[in-house]
Amino acid sequence: AQKVTQAQTEISVVEKEDVTLDCVYETRDTTYYLFWYKQPPSGELVFLIRRNSFDEQNEISGRYSWNFQKSTSSFNFTITASQVVDSAVYFCALSERGNNRLAFGKGNQVVVIP
Amino acid sequence: GAGVSQSPRYKVAKRGQDVALRCDPISGHVSLFWYQQALGQGPEFLTYFQNEAQLDKSGLPSDRFFAERPEGSVSTLKIQRTQQEDSAVYLCASSLGDATDTQYFGPGTRLTVL
């Protein structure tokens, strides 16, 4: 069964600080896909990144970076030099081959204080 | 190009009423998904279509929930005899391929059952 755990529920940071969101997943499959989505107050889920289980290379996109470690079943997300516009709920999600769904974690509420 | 659209954005129903929620996926996307998001939680899978075929409806919480996608494009989620516990945001997503491809989400329909 797919399972995603995001332990921190709410994280508050002062603007320009870095913030790291932890995501731990469980799966029996060797082929799977990991995602991060952002849900701002408007409510729409915005896609940030998709990573397959065979690609452990870390990725950086602007102020966003992701650290994928299969050994610890983690796919962590870091926002560098946070801005007020980063205030949102961030979801980590997992998809397995043959399983017709995304399994989401409970989300991390990030509050960036100006 | 246009993203996923959903209508209505907000719906208030009296307990026992039937409701219909509409989803317009991204043009050309084969797969369409419905998710239910309770307040403070991550989205939970309801059902999955590949073109017009409903391949997975294992997430539908009861037989009061029904979904269709008759021409392989627009989809409707119908809830009969609504109950208070049906109050949630209903999210629609579409992807070019299967569930392991990136799913793009609509803005959701917030259903409130009084």
Which residue in chain A is spatially nearest to B39 when comparing CA positions?
A106
**Predicted local distance difference test score (pLDDT) of residue A1:** 66
* Closest partner CB to B99 (pick from A101, A104, A107): A101
Least Cα separation, residue B93 to chain A (angstroms): 9
Q: Does B99 touch chain A (CB under 8 A)?
A: yes
* B74-93 per-position pLDDT tens digit: 999 999 999 999 999 999 99
Per-window interface: B 38-57 vs A, CB < 8 A: 40-45, 48, 55-56
Inter-chain CB proximity A101 and B102 less than 8 Å? no
Residue carrying structure tokens 């989401």? A104
Question: Residue B1 — very low, low, confident or very high, per pLDDT cuts 50/70/90?
Answer: low
pLDDT of B5 over the 80 cut: yes
How big is the A-B interface in CB pairs under 8 Å? 63
d(CA B56, CA A70) in angstroms, rounded, equals 29
* B30-40 per-position pLDDT tens digit: 999 999 999 99
Cα B25 to Cα A25, B2, B22, B111: the distances in Å are: 29, 9, 10, 20
Residue carrying structure tokens 């960036």? A112
